[in-house]
Structure 1
């Protein structure tokens, strides 16, 4: 009986991860398959599951980030909305909203400006960012001299945010000092709230002084420009 109950809980947990993670993973498929295709998506309706800045996510629009230029999408969090707009073929994962309404037809947003990239990072740009092979705090050559890099780790919130890097046994081996996180990256952190660890895409900044590295395991400063499961 206990074994059956545990199995049921495990299956439910896996189902939740697959369902939520699938929406994030679908972005890669959307970006690769939509290039050169005709615009097929012009309307979505569903509950706003994640919203920050100009970005929002509906489970009915898996693979797409809905963008509302000039609008605080967070005001629509948890509301059921109908979104009309167009898929941007130059930015395949972006669905540019022309209007947002309630199911009853009340207008909540009407677009009055064009899409600008700003903090948005294309999949092909992220794929070109090299993974940093960090082995600890004693080898600054593993990150110095590179403008950008990606690491797999866990975000540790605090007065100063840190990205915690672990070794193959799960032991903490280094920390990256986070100076800033873009709105686009913050939005994806919210989308990935069911996951403890994921990839961080970084603008690499100053190396921490050697003595402090040894004492705190903090190795360098960085700005987070994107996050993802891959």
Structure 2
């Protein structure tokens, strides 16, 4: 059976990354009898300045994209509908604040060494989009780690150190140099790039075409 390696470049602060993974899961499930998948998450920061003040998300996005706050609210509302259909908790999507995710990415790296990378990522998505929690706060991140089945004390030890900081920075530099400027981005077998939160059917077709070429 063919195995596809999928390197996912994403940010915890990106709702389309959560939606994209939920769609990817559907695609992988549809191909369960045809191929195996190996997933690895990689870091990307939408808000890379750790010193920046947190802002309410709606006016922050309105300013960033040159839109009215009402337009942003409508866009977020539509996203909430899409998320609900996929079984994602986006209840507090419009109530969150802009957050730096560097420490969260460090914990995702740590979780990966224990086979819990995706679980940690999902816990962070749930905290940020479902509960509008401060995803840059150590206590919130420790709670995410514990909900993902990881040791909270170990998570706190990682956060109080600089462990995995270099790994996150290397990740970000590598994929920026490779031309990834928006997320989610999927690199298949380190060769094929699929950008954006594509529909399951689109991914399924792409994976079949790729498997025929390898």
TM-score (norm 1): 0.26
User: When you count strand as a share of all residues, which structure comes out higher?
Assistant: 1
TM-score (norm 2): 0.27
- Greater relative contact order (Cα 8 A, min sep 6): structure 1 or 2? 2
User: When you count helix as a share of all residues, which structure comes out higher?
Assistant: 2
